[in-house]
Structures are given as structure tokens and as C-alpha cells.
Amino acid sequence: MVAFPPAATLSAMDTYTFTLLLGAAQAAYAHAYAPYSHFQVGAALLGADGQVYAGCNVENASYGLTRCAEQSAIQGMNTAGVRQFDALVVYSESTPPASPCGACRQILFEFAPGAKVACVNHLGERLDIQVSELLPHGFRMAQE
């Protein structure tokens, strides 16, 4: 039943991965399209192929069509044919640092329940957590 280790056994992503993803997330952050909320977010994940996939939030005048930064990164990874990732950095300039919204948690869970996540801001505040901690008991289709 329990497919992933409990939080107590978790460790943060290594410094090299964090630095690599933070740079990519900050670059994506600068490209966020957020004229309505003025809340920019950048995300970057390390795909199982070793490549970095970044995304920013892209808003719309029809607010509900807004795409979160994490979803943009997941789309890029899938477009490259990659279905797994090991680590994700979410960058914002808010306090506390933005953590993935509920919808994004389920989308992240689809591909990597065990991935390490770091939510960081411009002040260096940082939350280290795992996808399955962000979304305990996330939904999965039953596999026969």
C-alpha cells in the first residue's frame, strides 16, 4: 500500500541539482506572463534523461485558462518524450516561497511521486519536500 518512503527518511536534493534547477527556474521566472495577478513563478525539473525542463506561468484574460509554471515544465518534459523526473525547483519572489497548487500537485504526482521538490524565493527561504508529501494518497488509476 505505501509505495514511497515516509517523510522522515527523505533528504533534500543535492547541491549541484539544486543550483542547476534554480538557475533555470529563475530564467523561466523572468519570462512569466502574469499581467493579471502580477505573481510570477518559474519552475525547472530534472528529467530522467538528465535534461532540464523549465516553465513559467502563462495567464489568460479568461482567468481559468491560466497555466502554472509547474504544468508548463511538465508539458515540456512530455513533449521531449520523457515521463519521469527526479527533482523540481519552484522559484517565486513571494514570502513564503510559492508551493505547487492543488492541481499541480496531482499533475506532478502522475509522473514522479518520489521526486524531490524545493520551493525557494529571492530571500533564500526554502522548503524541501517530496511530491508524495505535497499530495498524500494522490489519485492513480488502478493497474491490473
Q: Which helix (H) or strand (E) holds 52?
A: strand 52-56
Task: Return d(Cα 121, Cα 49) in angstroms, integer.
Answer: 27
**Looking at 59, 70, 133, 144, which residue is catalytic?**
70
CA 93 to each of CA 48, 58, 63, 82, 125: distance values in angstroms, whole numbers, following the listed order: 28, 16, 21, 29, 10
Active site residue 125: no
List residues bridging with 46 in a β-sheet: 52, 87
Q: Kindly state the smallest distance separating residue 144's Cβ from ligand THU, in Å.
A: 34
Task: Write the binding mask 59 to 88 for ligand THU: x where contact by CB under 6 A, - elsewhere.
Answer: x------x-xxx------------------
Q: Kindly state the smallest distance separating residue 70's Cβ from ligand THU, in Å.
A: 6
Query: Does residue 24 touch ligand THU according to CB under 6 A?
Result: no
Report the residue number, 30 or 49, with the smaller CB distance to ligand THU: 30
Task: Return d(Cα 130, Cα 128) in angstroms, integer.
Answer: 7
Q: Kindly state the smallest distance separating residue 2's Cβ from ligand THU, in Å.
A: 26
Task: Return d(Cα 3, Cα 23) in angstroms, integer.
Answer: 31
Catalytic residues: 70
Q: In the complex, which residues of this chain contact ligand THU (CB under 6 A)?
A: 34, 37, 39, 41, 57, 59, 66, 68-70, 90, 98, 100-101, 104
